[in-house]
A and B are shown apart, each in its own frame.
Chain A
Amino acid sequence: MGLEENLPNGILLASLEKVVNWARKNSLWPATFGLACCAIEMMTTGGSRYDIARFGMERFSATPRQADLMIVAGRVTQKMAPVLRQIYDQMAEPKWVLAMGVCASSGGMFNNYAVVQGVDHIVPVDMYLPGCPPRPEMLLDAILKLHAKIQDEPMGPRRAALRAASGERTEIIPSSVKYAKK
């Protein structure tokens, strides 16, 4: 992803990977890509009732260069697709994509010639969030699941290859179970 890829093997420790991933997941700045009704729920999630600031994400960035996470909220039309791809390309690495709602994830009920049948035809998607539109809790749940994935992300191509060979995957646990009060 950056400098760490050029470091020789054996110098970076697994604990450094954990620290870097912890820092990345705790200040994940989203790029606003609100396209339809899902964006209303996304704005609600940023409001005081659901308070996305609790997860260090209150700074919805209007500039792609300062964003780490693109929340694609709403149906993507064929005309919007190149714009979306350009915004994604302008974001600095490391970057993640969250497909919010059924339309962004698969086209949803708009199975027609105007709508892209899933935003993963254009950009790599890290988390799919169903719902029409998903309620703010569902968005928070998807974000927390994405945080768990970021925490387990390997640093550098060698560690990534090792992880791919071991077949290890981050377990997707419902957030209300994972963070339940003991």
Chain B
Amino acid sequence: MFDALKGFGVTFSNMFKKVATEEYPEIGAPAAPRYHGRHQLNRHPDGLEKCVGCELCAWACPADAIFVEGGDNTEEERYSPGERYGKDYQINYLRCIGCGLCVEACPTRSLTMINFYELADDNRQDLIYTKEDLLAPLLPGMEQPPHPMRLGDNEQDYYVNGPELARDRGVPSGETVETSEEKAMQ
């Protein structure tokens, strides 16, 4: 006879317990600091692109989601320090499995991942992200390429003095240009 009341008692006592539900769309999009979300193509502190068009990311990709086409830098039209830059860069997010092997393969730390993951779309075309979609936003002190090398005479200066150059541009100590933009959302 009292069994029903006992059952309702369990239900009733749950009214005073903490709610486990995460109020997702209202609280923003939470993710761990190193979550594998969307990719980002980073820049040097003066705005030149870090991508050198080597295609190692495309070779590392187990799902064949990345397409890269390199191009030659000229003195008049320079996109990255050194000889070559990524002329065309596409990631197909309907193939990408977010494993991060491309990030591991990247020799210049050009390709990293950010926390953004709300990628759903209603057509396949818009989910192929091109270079314009993937390039990091211009931080203060950065200039839209093409422009000459501002922080050194050749690409060696960019790679050897990378951390100091970043610090001069106001990136806090212990962080890189990449991590300053991928702060975890609370």
Contact = CB atoms under 8 A, between A and B. Distances in A.
Interface string A143-179: 0110001000000000000000000001010111011
Interface string A77-105: 00000000000000000000000001001
A49 B62 CA distance: 32
Q: Indicate the size class of the contact surface on chain B.
A: 20 to 34
A138 B122 contact: no
B63 A138 contact: no
Nearest to A100: B120
Interface stretch (A11-19, A22-30, A124-132): A124-132
B159 interface: no
A170 B28 CA distance: 22
B180 interface: no
B29 interface: yes
Contact of B97 (A50, A102, A120, A145): A102
Contacts of B126: 172
Contacts of A142: 120
Interface of B: 20-22, 24-30, 62-64, 92-99, 116-124, 126-127
A64 interface: no
B-side interface mostly: loop
A133 to B, nearest CB: 9
A180 interface: yes
Contact of A138 (B30, B96, B119, B124): B119
Contacts of A135: 117
B122 A176 contact: no
Interface of A: 48-51, 54, 102, 105-109, 111, 118, 120, 126-132, 134-138, 140-142, 144-145, 149, 170, 172, 174-176, 178-181
Given A106-B95, A138-B117, A141-B120, A180 B22 contact: no
A180 B24 CA distance: 10
Contacts of B20: 48-49
23 contacts: A48-B21, A50-B24, A51-B21, A102-B63, A105-B94, A105-B124, A106-B94, A108-B94, A108-B95, A109-B95, A109-B97, A128-B122, A128-B124, A129-B119, A136-B24, A137-B118, A138-B117, A140-B24, A141-B24, A141-B117, A178-B25, A180-B28, A181-B27
Contacts of A127: 120-122
